Structures are given as C-alpha cells and as structure tokens.
A = this chain, B = another copy of it.
C-alpha cells in the first residue's frame, strides 16, 4: 500500500483532514508531564491516545526533539513506534542536500525512523528529491509556499516569465510526479489561502500539507475551499500548538481531543459545502 492509499483509508475511516503537529516543547507541557522521565514521549502518548480516531496524520517536527540530543531522538523514535500503523506519519524535517547526502536522509527517515513521509526543501533541485523516490510506498512534501510572514521574500519573487518562484516549484513537483507517480506532495501555508488555488490547478491530485491554521491565524474556510481536490480531500491540515497545548492540566489530552474534534468538524463543514 502506498502513501496516498494509506492516507485515503484513514481520511475515510476518521472522516478527517486534520493532521496533529507533535511540536512537543517540554516547557509548554502540563507540570505533571514535565516531571516524568520521558516527558516528550509520555505527552505524545496521551495526545495520540486521545486523538487517533480523529486525525488523518501526525506530524512531529524534529527540531523539538533534536533540542535534547540523543535523548530527544529516542523520544521521537518511541513516539513514531507508538502511533497506530494505519495512520501516516509525516516527519517535518525540511531537509534538502546533494544526492549522496539526501540518500542518507532518505535511509534515515524511511528505514531507521520508519516514518511515511518527510518535508523537503527543493532549492537544490532534483538531486535532493531523487533518493527519496526510491521508496515507492513513501512520500515527500516539498515546500512551495510556506506559512511564515517572510515567505514572501523569496517564494513570491517574480521570474522573467511573469510567474512567481513558488509557482515554478509547484510546476517542478508536477514533473517529479510524472517521473515518480504519486510520491510528491507539497507544503502550502494556510496563512496565504489565496495561493492554494493556483497550486491546486497545477497539482490537481496531489496531497497538500497545510500548516498555519491554528496559532498562525490562517482562515479555515478559504483554505478548504481553495485547497481541496475534486474529491473534497487532498489536504492534511496541520494544527500543533492550538491542539496539543489547548489545556495545561491533568485533562490536557481531553482538551486536545475537543480541539481536534472542533477543527475536524469545522473543516468538514466546508468540504461538504
């Protein structure tokens, strides 16, 4: 079963386009979790138990684990191991390197770490992407238009032919998907919801990983209407802090569940519209 099939099954089963971001910063966790031996794993375990029937994917960002060196990587690997096997895991690592090194990254994440997909910087071109494409049941999500304010500085630069740089990246992803059918997704931020539309035209059946909806302030309605594919799917709408840190007491996982449910239903309302 390839990545898109795995994703499709869970979208149907959980009736959800919500991806929960496991940006598990220890300082923001409830005090009773912070004092445990492996707070990142214990926190994630509770969040996963409380949300696994409501999500289409989990997205840990490796930065929050690397901060603790080898111990953090162990917490991340335990988290990956704990996530139910039928839910796709997108490792947010934003890697991009020359071919030989990219091969090491692909091997790291798809074999050692065992995730289903990785986020990728496309700046260095096809060499960066090719080694990941040898894993036919996996996927990558290439950064197209990111959710941060300064995304406009380079990504919106106008090229000689009048197209913006992020449009060129989207067009390149279309080429890569010709070569490696179904293996490339994109990252498009919900903070620039109008930009989802032209990217969806270029990439009609590609999954979009969409950060920026929660604390970053993206608009749900516009994101769904502009971003969904012809089947009312094709989006992994990520929310991290707004869900995982919704509560700070003993009931933090229950609060996370409530926020996930709320976001899922809000998104689904526009999917049906």
Contacts and interface: CB of A to CB of B under 8 A. Distances in A.
Interface of A: 23, 25, 61, 63-64, 66-71, 73-74, 77, 92, 94-102, 104-105, 107-108, 112-113, 121-128, 143, 146-155, 157-160, 162, 165, 168-169, 172, 211, 216
Contacts of A98: 146-148, 211, 216
A238 to B, nearest CB: 12
A60 to B, nearest CB: 12
Contact of A160 (B102, B153, B160): B160
Copies of this chain in its oligomeric complex: 2
A154 B125 CA distance: 6
Given A67-B108, A94-B95, A150 B168 contact: no
B154 A168 contact: yes
B159 A63 contact: no
Contacts of A124: 143, 146, 148, 150-151, 154-155
B158 A123 contact: no
Contacts of A151: 124-125, 127
A159 B107 CA distance: 35
Given A63-B108, A98-B146, A157-B165, 4 more contacts: A69-B113, A70-B74, A94-B97, A99-B148
A150 B165 contact: no
B155 A123 contact: yes
A104 B63 contact: yes
Nearest to A71: B70
Given A66-B108, A73-B73, A94-B97, A125 B165 contact: no
A169 B154 CA distance: 8
| Interface hub of A102, A124, A149, A151 (most chain B Cβ within 10 A) | A124
B104 A64 contact: yes
Nearest to A150: B125
16 contacts: A67-B104, A69-B108, A70-B73, A92-B97, A96-B96, A98-B146, A98-B148, A122-B154, A123-B146, A124-B143, A125-B148, A125-B152, A126-B153, A154-B165, A159-B159, A165-B165
